[in-house]
Amino acid sequence: MAIDRRREAAGGGPGRLPPAAEENGALPPGDAAASAPLGGRAGPSGGGDIQPLPAPHAAGGPHPSLLLLDYDGSVLPFLGGLGGGYQKTLVLLTWIPALFIGFSQFSDSFLLDQPNFWCRGAGRDAEQAGVTGAGRWGGGDLANWTSPPTTPASTAAWGTAGPLGNGSGADGGDAPPLPSPPDKGDNASNCDCHAWDYGIRTGLVQNVVSKWDLVCDNAWKVHVAKFSLLVGLIFGYLITGCVADWFGRRPVLLVCIVSILIFGLAVALSVNVTMFSTLRFFEGFCLAGVILTLYALRIELCPPGKRFTITMVASFVAMAGQFLMPGLAALCRDWQVLQALIICPFLLMLLYWSIFPESLRWLMATHQFESAKKLILYFTQKNRMSPESDIKGVMPELEKELSRRPKKVCIVKVVGTRNLWKNIVVLCVNSLTGFGIHHCFARSMMGHEVKVPLLENFYADYYTAAGIALASCLAMCLVVGVLGRRGGLLLFMILTALASLLQLGLLNLIGKYSQHPDSELQLKLAVGMSDSVKDKFSVTFSIVGMFASHAAGSLSVFFCAEITPTVIRCGGLGLVLASAGFGMLTAPIIELHNQKGYFLHHIIFACCTLICIICLLLLPESRDQNLPESIADGEHYTRQPLLPPRRGEQPLLLTNAELKDYSGLHDAAAAGDGLPDGATANGGRPM
């Protein structure tokens, strides 16, 4: 055709440079396939792929050897993949701390649970004369104040996403909201009690609330203590993520382990609630560093086909800590002993100083080839591998690059990219929405809106939330295996949006008809849709919402770990995990204000789910794809359609490179560019 002839005339033959990336970071399909990186492979239909790296230059040039940059295709197979015995040991060492992390993340449910309380000397019988379950002040006075309405023991099952499982619910220890104390005028005598008796529900004889009488006018300090751990986690994710990308995963992990031992044990020795809250902030900060670095190390150790499985195993181990926590509390009896017992297992991780190496993938990505060579030799020695297994010649290429200077990158470099920052922002919004709306569903099911007898017990609340999180992780394994990362995340976000919209719209419509039966139809609806039926619908939608929102939030974190380049992986993970923390932070804020703005809170997050569904289509598919190593790799991740194209289907639009050829068509036509007789300007023949 005429266009092809003009390409050849302009030097666009086989030796031409590859065309610039498209708007979405993709190259034309033919060019992408022809120039696939060494050791790379095309993903399944509909999947994403990493675009080719620049051609290799001589040693000491601007770019190292392409063979060394293709970690999943050359270096990892040389080390035996995950089949090497030493690699399996390292993966196991990343699983064990997940149990300790699960204990720490769900400790708020026991340390800060609001117990039943009454004025000392009034007797337990006075409980019945106190505040009602809805927070109304009873006919007695505050001296006979009884327990506030129960709330979910853990509204955000952090422990199930790896970091989130690890990751987890710092907000998991949501204490029930306290009714506002009576106004100081007429009810000033209600808080005149100087000593309280407590009925603690969590198996402890004493917790933080009963230790320092955090009731009545001091009840707000409980929520501040919850803020401290969550805010510490948020700042920890943001700061330790950047530090781990600059100095390495291993130093951050070891420093955070030592620090969490110091601050965690100091929390058990607190003399007042101010000291407790301050130390909990630093404990959360260090805990975030441990969660983040272990998550990144786990991802970077695995070949493409094993990443999701290895991450989900760590999530289930963290959930084991959540399920074992009530028994641990009943065994300890005192909150100080419980806090010390939660922190002491981190002493075992001090052995990681001599056992756990730096991430080899990070060393290669940042061009620290001298350290990488020593680590590769250490791996081969541990795995008892022979030099003949280096078929692709990794070690000779590595020898040529030893003089190269390290090239480290900070997460702020993402600002200058065109596609990578969009992917990270989309996943941040998904994480924020998933973990933020999770609390709304939990409040609807176990909070002030629905009164289900089964859910009025602390252990029923706690294990219901944990069971939903466990079912969510099991379903996530199945769905992601079938639909991939992007398809699974889209499905769970659609379920979350449907559950929230039905709960907000349908149930309010039912309540409206039941209160105003102005017509015969409305009267029938009012009779059929009783309050009990409405409550059952609300519980059903809440369970579906908790199930789907937990999976959406957890999968967003894992998705970010796969599409963020190695050089800034911890920084990208820190942003997404911090967004999850901001979502969970809304729960204690709403409780601090005695549930004021709760309905608006739910509406805002429901609207965010609709935005997330649209934005998810911008993400690439990372299943069975090599991890991007540099920012250039992450920038050129292909974004394919959600459904694979039909056989023989032609694209409707040309690529950017081909569109440029149309700019000179009118000039060529005017000059008589040798077009055959009867041919049109675009090279076709008229009908």
pLDDT digits (tens, 9 = 90+) for 416-425: 888 889 999 9
Task: List all residues 6 or more positions away from 106 whose beta carbon is below 8 Å from its beta carbon.
Answer: 154, 159, 168, 169, 172, 173, 321, 322, 325
Tell me the per-residue pLDDT of 430-487, one tens digit each, with 9 for 90 and over. 999 999 898 888 877 765 444 444 445 788 888 988 999 999 999 999 999 898 899 9
Given a cut of 50, whether residue 190 has pLDDT beyond it is no
What would the DSSP string read from start to end of 168-224? --GGGGPPPPPPPPPPTTTTGGGG----EEEE-SSS-SB-HHHHTT--GGGTHHHHH
Given a cut of 60, whether residue 674 has pLDDT beyond it is no
Tell me the per-residue pLDDT of 271-288, one tens digit each, with 9 for 90 and over. 999 999 999 999 999 999
Q: What tokens does 475 get?
A: 């379903």
Confidence of residue 519 (pLDDT cuts 50, 70, 90): low
Given a cut of 70, whether residue 539 has pLDDT beyond it is yes
Measured CA to CA, the distance from residue 98 to residue 94 in angstroms comes to 7
Mean of the pLDDT values across residues 639-654?
Answer: 55
What phi and psi, each to the nearest 5 degrees, are found at residue 251?
-60, -40
Given a cut of 80, whether residue 401 has pLDDT beyond it is no
Lowest mean pLDDT among 384-393, 403-412, 449-458: 449-458
Q: What is the pLDDT of residue 572?
A: 93
Q: What is the pLDDT of residue 668?
A: 44
Share of the chain above pLDDT 70, in %: 64
How crowded is the C-beta side of 639, counted as CA atoms within 13 Å? 16
Confidence of residue 172 (pLDDT cuts 50, 70, 90): very low
Domains and CATH numbers, the chain: 65-118+195-408 (1.20.1250.20), 409-512+527-639 (1.20.1250.20)
Lowest mean pLDDT among 212-216, 383-387, 414-418, 615-619: 383-387
Lowest mean pLDDT among 298-302, 331-335, 396-400: 396-400
Q: What is the pLDDT of residue 575?
A: 95
What would the DSSP string read from start to end of 582-613? HHHHHHHHHHHTTTTTHHHHHHHHHHHHHHHH
User: Do the beta carbons of residue 27 and residue 18 sit within 8 Å?
Assistant: yes
Given a cut of 80, whether residue 555 has pLDDT beyond it is yes
Lowest mean pLDDT among 493-507, 583-597, 604-618: 583-597
List residues bridging with 199 in a β-sheet: 116
pTM of the model: 0.76
Measured CA to CA, the distance from residue 275 to residue 270 in angstroms comes to 6
- 39 phi-psi bin (left φ>0, alpha ψ -120 to 50, beta other): left
Given a cut of 60, whether residue 150 has pLDDT beyond it is no
Q: What is the pLDDT of residue 456?
A: 53
Tell me the per-residue pLDDT of 341-383, one tens digit each, with 9 for 90 and over. 999 999 999 998 888 999 999 998 898 888 888 898 888 888 8
SS3 (DSSP) at 430: helix
How would you label 181-208 residue by residue, b for 16+ Cβ within 10 Å and e otherwise?
bbeeeeeeebbebeebbbebbbbbeebb
